[in-house]
Structure 1
Amino acid sequence: MADEKVERTPHGDIIYRHTDSKSFEPVFDSPNVEQIQRHVEKYVGKVENVFHEIISNFVHVDILLVKPTPQRNFCTLVTSGMSQRPMKTPPGVQGCEYAELLICLPPDWPMTDEAMKDESNYWPFRWLKILARFPHEYDSWLWYGHTLPNGNPARGFARNTQLSGIILAPPLMVPEEFGVLRINETKSIQFFSMFPIYTDEMNYKLNNGADGLFELMDQQKVNLILDVHRPSVCKRSLWPF
């Protein structure tokens, strides 16, 4: 594909548009389930619960829960299954075929069966699964700095928040060693934080790149534990254009 035909953001990043998904393709457990859980328990904490899937499409995605401790007073959710298959990376991009995701929730986030019937409580779980399947469903890939909106136009994930998109960030709430799990000589799994953002923050990223948005978040000391009511970092007075 000629470069001039590639759609790019104002910052110069390639825009990937996905319209046609594959048909349903049932699968079973990932072969790396035990290795991923051991990796989580080594660097993050004891896996207290696993939210298992009964029927899976494209990849079998379970969600591992590490509960709060006095040292880490928040819940950590980690996917196990996104790396069941390699992602379709762009030509020339190697070593970026496998990934898993995590998100950090407040320690009192409701997780009972009854609470999970409410989308206001369930959407982080839903979006971990959506993103874990996304590259396999659309023959694409997800990596550092990639963003996905909740619809077009983007809308809030649930009635209690205006957060409306996701950006993949480094897993900063865990030890640095957790970032990569080496399975064998040819397969390494990269872990990314699934960080919810607002529409104006997604637009800022399109104009300034992921690093520009992360720098702005760092300047304003954004809490990396999910806060559905946090203010946007993109006050108009801060925009450089």
Structure 2
Amino acid sequence: MAMKDWFRRKPASENVGTSKGGSRLIRYGDRSDLKPEVGFLDESTLSNTEERERVYSDLFGESDTVLHELLPLVPHIDVYRFPPNGKRDFFTFVTGGMSDLPMNSPSELGADYRRAELVFYSTEDRDDYPELLRRLAHFVHDNNTWLHWGHSMPNGQPPERLFDTKHLDSLFFMPSIVNPDSTLGDRLQIDSDPVHLIWCVPITTAECQLKLDNGTDALYDLFDVNKHPFVFTGDRQSYV
């Protein structure tokens, strides 16, 4: 399935109460256009959730909202919103549950590439952002594939614009440059596999092609020259 089909729908959400920690729980709307695996993971994953939330609290502060997936999809994906606080003046959106199942990464790459969660930093709060992360987390498992640092992905073929932008229609995945977020793999493991954080960065088609033609270092260099901010502030011109 093309990514544009995942991002085109914006199912309605419904406030269904609060979690034990006081965070708002939101139920997603209809997903009849998708065919994810339906069922329940083993109850042992509950311990993953508890440990993940403990580590998240240490890294990001206190979450004020959990976008909670109530349909029995495998894996179960929540998206946590961490608002600005005394140490961070931006919103942090992080998936929880993508790492409950190992991704279908090449076996020769080893444990460092099997489990991950997604993060997105923004100056504002929009429903589009956690929805993007949730769909990406399901896309990986529903398509028996994997994501990691250095990967890129157009938003469909031909690429369609992300959010309300005019130029950003693709995604680049890289390690977080925010501390202490970048230490997640040292703090959180599942079945001895480190859980790494993948930062989702909106880019343009030209930037995506530059990376494909010249490698990830070329895109990193371009970000460096243009002082690319780690916090998403909305649309921008292409650096290429």
TM over 0.5: yes
CA spacing shift, 1:27–1:168, aligned 2, 3 Å: farther
Q: Check the 8 A contact 1:164/1:197 in 2, yes or no.
A: yes
How far apart, in 2, do the equivalents of 1:127 and 1:53 lie? 14
SS in 2 for 1:57: coil
Q: Which moved further from structure 2: 211-220 or 178-187?
A: 178-187
Counterpart of 1:104 (choices 106, 111, 121) is 121
Aligned length: 203
**SS in structure 2 opposite 1:132?**
helix
Mapping for residues 36-51 of structure 1, pairs under 5 Å: 36-51=52-67
Name which of 132, 136, 146 aligns with 2:141: 136
CA contact (8 A) 2:176 2:198 kept: yes
Q: Can you give the 5+ residue segments of structure 1 that lack an aligned partner in the other structure?
A: 1-16, 111-120, 235-241
Match for residue 173 of structure 2 among 153, 156, 168: 168
- Name 2:150's counterpart in structure 1: 145
Cα distance change on mapping 1:184 and 1:129 into 2, 3 Å: closer
Provide TM-score, normalisation by structure 2: 0.77
CA RMSD of aligned residues (A): 2.2
Q: Give the percent of matched residue pairs that are identical in Structure 1 and Structure 2.
A: 29
Q: TM-score with structure 1 length normalisation?
A: 0.77
Runs of 5+ consecutive residues of structure 2 not aligned to the other structure: 4-33
Task: Quote the Cα distance in structure 1 between the aligned partners of 2:121 and 2:137.
Answer: 16
Q: Equivalent residue for 2:237? A: 231
Moved over 4 A (4+): none
Aligned equivalents of 1:57 and 1:181: distance in 2?
27
The separation in 1 between residues aligned to 2:213 and 2:101, in whole angstroms, is: 32
Query: Match of 1:168, as an amino acid?
Result: F
- Show the 5 A alignment for 1:63-82: 63-82=79-98
2:96 matches 1:53 = no
